[in-house]
Every structure is written in structure tokens, then in C-alpha cells.
Structure 1
Amino acid sequence: MGPPDPSVPQDTPDALPSLKKTEITQSVPNRSSNKKRDVRAREQLVEVVMEELGVPALFCAKSAVLACYANARTSGLVVEMGATYTSVTSVHEGYAFAYPKSQVTLFGGRDLDAFLKQKLAPQMATSFEQRAAATSMDKEMAKRTRHTWSYVVEAKESGLCRVADGPFDEVQNAQLPLINYELPDKTVVSMGTERFSVAEHYFSRDSGPNAVVNSGTADTEAKSSSITAGPGMRLPELICETGGLTTATELRKELFQNIVLTGGSSCFENMATRIEREVVTTLSNISLPLVGSSTNSVSSAGFTNSLRVKVVAAHAQERRVGAFLGGSILASLGSFHEMWMSKAEYAEHGAALIHKKCP
């Protein structure tokens, strides 16, 4: 028998999860969801990690909280713009609030990918027809289509797609100059309004990019169910609504001064600037309740208009892995060893202890 293949992971002590303390990130459950189901799902996760993987200690952290830590903050309105969902969560002193709407879900980055794919499909199809014979290249065509689809996603993330400075209308900007972009497989696509229309879904009241895709193709009816069913709220409005649920004036000021962007879809060029501008505009047109009563909305108009808004956006590479960076920072703290849920504690108290150790 020859030496082991170095490309295949070996069962060395460094590779065995049973010898490693494990930190897991979780999204903040929406209070309007099934609470019992969420609680049970979390406990089942603990059971699997402790019993089947045999880790010596476990800690579960909220991704929104970790995103704050990654940006050197303990409080803020965290806007997570990921692949499968977009959410807004209030975080104060390392604790993620679970208001009825403290986490509101929109579409995700994959829905934007599908939208861009549909917009560029005619150009891609033409390119394939020119380069392959229909009779003998069916399998190769399918393979090439799949790879070119991943290249389209790369084009979206390369900086070619960006956020417009203000509201963007495709019809009014139909004469926008085309920019050619060569994908790694040598397919050349021309992008005009598509450069701005992809990210504009975050700022429009439509049903999201998935609605546009579903209206044009029958095979995408089963796409992500995270899209709002009808005309929804714009992302800046969701940010204002989530921050507005906090009626304590000083806390609200702190939240709006620390709007933290994280996730791959937040990396569109000009995203932070546009969100900050739109949130300021939205706040100037609404009134948020003050402490003690939701009926004080009219009298709070002056306070709302005086709110200082600041969007915190790290470098794009850091925003992509914000939760991971925050988890690394948390785990490196000297006092973190007291926060672990050990295997002995699990054996004594069961999986339900995770709710107390990791609220």
C-alpha cells in the first residue's frame, strides 16, 4: 500500500471535531414564526453536535450580533444581505432583540442572480449556438451553460453591477451605453440597464426579483419562498420600521447611528451610500413613537427628523464573512471560556441549557 493521498483529509487529531470546541452561528428567529419549532430545532442541533460529533464544548451565537463585533460595535441595526434572505435585526449590548418584526425577510442574493441570468439569457443562448453543434454537443452545452451561469454571478460580483445614486427606471434609462464584459469561458455579454436594475430591487416596492423571473419563465415557479408575496416594503423602510420598534430615545439614536451592513449582497458598489441617503429620506417622511406610547407618533416628528443616520460598511471582503470574523473575535476573548456549554453541563442539564448559556 502506497502513502496516503495528501489531497484527502486524514483523521489526524487536528481534523477530529471531537477534540475541538465548536462555535456555531445562527440567524435570529422571527418572533412571528413558530416559537416552539424554533426552540426544538435549536435543541436538536445541540444534540447532534454533542452526541454524534462528540465536541467537548459548544457555543451558539446570533449572526447579527457577530456582525456587530466584526465592526467593533456591540449595538446597531444589522442589515444581513445574504444569499437566501435579507434581514434587519436590532442588536443592543450584544443581545439581538426578537421584536415581532425585528427581523424582516426579503429576497436573497440568489434571487438577484436568477434575475440577472434571465436578463442575459438571450445573449448567452446566441453565444452557445455559435460555438456548438446542436446534434452532438447536447451534454457539453448543458455543462457549459451551468458554468457560464456561475460566471454570470461572477460578473454581478465583479463590480460591473452597482447601485444607482437615486431611483433607477429601466425605461427612462433605456439608452444607457452598453458595456461589454467577457466571462472566463470567453462568452461576451453586453450590459446596460442590467448593471443598475439588479440591486435596485432593494429600493423598489415590487415583489422582488423572483416575481420578475417567475413572470418570464415557467420553470422557476418553485424558487425561493422568502420573497414577499405582494408589493413589499423597500429595504430602507424595513430598516426604519425595525429601528422604530425601539421606543427608548437614546437606544434608538444609537441604533440609527450604527446601521451595520454585512453579507455578500451588501458589496454592490455604492450600496452603503444609497442606503444611508434613503433611510434619511424615509425618516423625514414618517413619525416614530416615543417612549411609553405608540400614540405619540405625531409629537415625535421633530425627534425623528433629528435622528442622525450612519451606515457602517467594512471592506467588501470583510462584509462577505462578517459573522465569521465576529465569531473569531468573540472566541479570542479571555473571558470567553466561561461562556462555553461543556459536555458535562449538557449531560447534567440537557440541550435546553443552550437557551440560557447562549440567549
Structure 2
Amino acid sequence: STFLKDGMVEDWDLFEKVLDYTYSRHVKSEPQLHPVLMSEASWNARTKREKLTEIMFEKYGVPAFFLVKNAVLAAFANGRSTGIVVDSGASQTSAVPVHDGYVLTQAVVKSPLAGDFVTMQCKQFLEEQGIDIIPTYMLAGKEAVKEGEPAKWTKKNSLPEVTKSWHNYMAKEVIQDFQSSVLQVLDSPYDKETVENMPTVHYEFPNGYNQDFGSERFLIPESLFDPSTIKSAPGQTMMGVAQVVTTSVGMCDIDIRPSLYGSVTITGGNTLLQGFTERLNRDLSAK
């Protein structure tokens, strides 16, 4: 489990344990010797900022502490003080306008369509196809099999007892490797006929099962840009990535909109999907 919820610290006890581990195993120095800069979600609540500041000064005794909104850091890292920061991570996709180094909080727009949602769709697809997700820690060995044939693998003897959450984490790693290797975002809206002529991708799972993946590798990530393609969720009420950006810019002063559109910064692990940046660029250019 994570100590974060909606990008903000929810479980303070767990958060402090992570800080203790960081100081003891990685910093390997007394907290009192080093000033600390931390990033925070652009929508972080004032009460949480105060609590975090209190912990850093009262418990760890840091000499100085500074909180910076992560959108500002992303913009500065790209040499920009003004622009719109599109952050698509695990739990959500957000568009945050930054003007002269300050976040325009009234225009922050978020969507739950992000990396975890894509992973969930991949999991559902693999289950529908009857493909078993076997984490690598369970494997003692495997045999080469032909494409589409059942896997031939042997389970490790005397496997240690593991928690359900750790097993799920390892299984999720397999799905995420499939996600990063196979999925691709089309550079234009999904069209079944076009996709059928696109090249397939061959993928082998840790247990040796392998096959080619065709149209589904484009359809799954399409939901990020066109939520109406989602089968099992109320996609009509959700916003695609480009709509999140245009809605955010539309909530800003009309005079600064050109400078925001002229400097779009893309960050977050989910944006590493093949074709993500090109599709967003195309969708924004078309609006």
C-alpha cells in the first residue's frame, strides 16, 4: 500500500517510516545537517503542508525546509517559467498551468485515466484471453513453446511465504512490462480498418507463453485520449488527455493562453507509452 492518496500524504505513520528508512539507509547522515526540499502535488491542502513542515522541523530537526509544487519543478527543469504541465502518472492525469513560476491553482484539471487504469485494462484483457500472469519469483524453469501454445513451466520448490500484496505487486510488474513493450498510442483516432493493417508485436511472458498482439495493443491506450472507447466504465463523463489540457487552459486568463499552449511540458511515467507525446501534440494542434 502507499501512504499517498490523490497525490497527498494520507498515512502519516507510514510516511515517517519511509523517511526513517531514507535517512538511515540512503542519506546515511544526521537530518540536522541538511536542508530539505520536497515536491508536493499542485492541489496539496494547507493542513497537510503544515503537518509535513511540523514533522520535518519537530521530529527530524532539519535546518531549513522548502516545499515546491511539482508542476513548477517540471517547468523549471525544462527551462520554462510559464507553460502548461501535463503530468500522467499512475493514479491520475493532470494539467497544471504555471505562470512566472507560480501555479494557477484555480485552473488545475485532473482525470483518473492514467497508468493504473491502463494496467487494469491490460489485466482484464489478459484474463479474457485466458493468459496466466505468473510472477518471475515463482518460476524454477520453462520450456520453449510454439506461439499460442500452453506454457510449460515448473514452479520453484520451497517457495517462501509471501504476503498477498507482495504477490500482487510482482504480478503487476509482469503486466506493466507487457504494457510498456506491446501497447502503442495511435497518432490519430482509433479506426478499426486502419489498425488491422498495422504491424503486430510479438511478446513472451515470463512462463514462456508467447503470441502476437494486434489491434488490442492500440485499443487499450486509446481510452486515455478517447474515453468513449472504454467498455466497462462511464467513459462519456471522463475527459481524455487533450480535453484535460484544453479545459485547464480555458480556465486561465485569455491573455496568457497563447504562452501556455506555446510551452507544453509532459511528465510522468504513463507518458512513456509509445506514441503518447505525438498523439497529444496532434490532438492539441487540431483544437
Does the pair score TM above 0.5? yes
The code of the aligned residue for 1:96 comes to V
* Among 99, 103, 111, the residue aligned to 2:109: 103
The equivalent residue for 2:175 is 152
* CA displacement, residues 111-144 of structure 1 (integer Å, 9 cap, x when unaligned): 21111122122342298875369xx99x89x988
Which of 1 and 2 has higher RCO (CA within 8 Å, sep 6+)? 1
Distance 1:165 1:96 in 2: 30
How many residue pairs were aligned?
245
1:239 maps to 2:245: yes
Matched position secondary structure for 2:227: coil
Distance 1:272 1:13 in 2: 35
Q: 1:67 aligns with which of 74, 78, 85?
A: 74
Q: Name which of 109, 113, 116 aligns with 2:119.
A: 113
Question: For the Cα contact (< 8 Å) 2:228–2:235, is it kept in 1?
Answer: no
Q: In percent, how many aligned pairs have the same letter?
A: 25
Q: Structure 1 residues 148, 181: CA separation in 2 closer, same or farther (over 3 Å shift)?
A: farther
TM-score, reference length from structure 2: 0.73
1:190/1:60 CA distance change after superposition, 3 Å? same
Structure 1: how far apart are the matches of 2:126 and 2:25? Answer: 45
Are the counterparts in 2 of residues 80 and 88 from structure 1 also a CA contact under 8 Å?
A: yes
Q: Is the 8 A contact 2:184 2:218 kept in 1?
A: yes
**Secondary structure at the counterpart of residue 198 of structure 1:** helix
1:5-154 counterparts in 2 under 5 A?
A: 14-29=28-43, 38-99=45-106, 101-121=107-127, 122-125=129-132, 130-131=152-153, 147-154=170-177
Q: Deviations over 1:260-293 (max 9, x none)?
A: 10011111222222111111222xxxxxxxxxxx
Supply the distance in 2 between the matched residues of 1:233 and 1:114 (Cα, whole angstroms).
Answer: 18
Structure (1/2) with the larger strand percentage: 2
Larger Rg: 1
Structure 2 unaligned segments of length 5 or more: list them.
1-22, 134-148
Return 5+ residue gaps in structure 1 as ranges: 1-8, 31-37, 216-227, 283-359
Distance 1:12 1:183, change over 3 A: closer
1:275 aligns to 2:280 (yes or no): yes
TM-score where L is the length of structure 1: 0.59
Letter in structure 2 aligned against 1:29? W
Q: What RMSD, in angstroms, separates the aligned Cα atoms of the two structures? A: 3.4
User: Aligned AA for 2:30?
Assistant: L
d(CA) in 1 for partners of 2:167 and 2:192?
30
